[in-house]
Chain A
Amino acid sequence: AQSVTQLGSHVSVSEGALVLLRCNYSSSVPPYLFWYVQYPNQGLQLLLKYTSAATLVKGINGFEAEFKKSETSFHLTKPSAHMSDAAEYFCAVSDPKAGGGNKLTFGTGTQLKVEL
Chain B
Amino acid sequence: DTAVSQTPKYLVTQMGNDKSIKCEQNLGHDTMYWYKQDSKKFLKIMFSYNNKELIINETVPNRFSPKSPDKAHLNLHINSLELGDSAVYFCASSPGRRGNTEAFFGQGTRLTVV
Cβ of A101 and Cβ of B50 under 8 Å apart? yes
**Among A46, A51, A97, A102, which residue has its beta carbon within 8 angstroms of that of B31?**
A102
CA distance A29 to B110 in the complex (A): 35
User: Which residues 34-93 of B have a CB within 8 angstroms of A?
Assistant: 35, 40-45, 48, 50, 55-56, 90, 92
List residues of chain B with CB within 8 A of the CB of A45.
105
For chain B, give the interface size range.
20 to 34
Cβ of B99 and Cβ of A108 under 8 Å apart? no
CB 8 Å contact bits of A34-45 with B (1 = contact, 0 = none): 101010011111
CA distance A15 to B108 in the complex (A): 29
**Among A31, A103, A108, which residue has its beta carbon within 8 angstroms of that of B45?**
A103
CA distance A9 to B40 in the complex (A): 11
The 20 listed contacts between A and B (C-beta, < 8 Å) are A36-B105, A42-B107, A43-B108, A44-B105, A88-B41, A94-B100, A96-B98, A99-B98, A100-B97, A100-B99, A101-B33, A102-B48, A102-B94, A102-B100, A104-B35, A104-B103, A105-B45, A106-B44, A108-B40, A109-B41
**Among B50, B55, B100, B108, which residue has its beta carbon within 8 angstroms of that of A49?**
B100
Question: Which B residues form the contact surface with A (CB < 8 A)?
Answer: 4, 31, 33, 35, 40-45, 48, 50, 55-56, 90, 92, 94, 96-108
For chain A, what secondary structure do more than half of its interface residues adopt (helix, strand, loop), or is it mixed?
loop
Question: Which A residues form the contact surface with B (CB < 8 A)?
Answer: 31-32, 34, 36, 38, 41-46, 49, 51-52, 88, 90, 94-106, 108-109
Report the minimum CB–CB distance from A87 to chain B (whole Å).
11
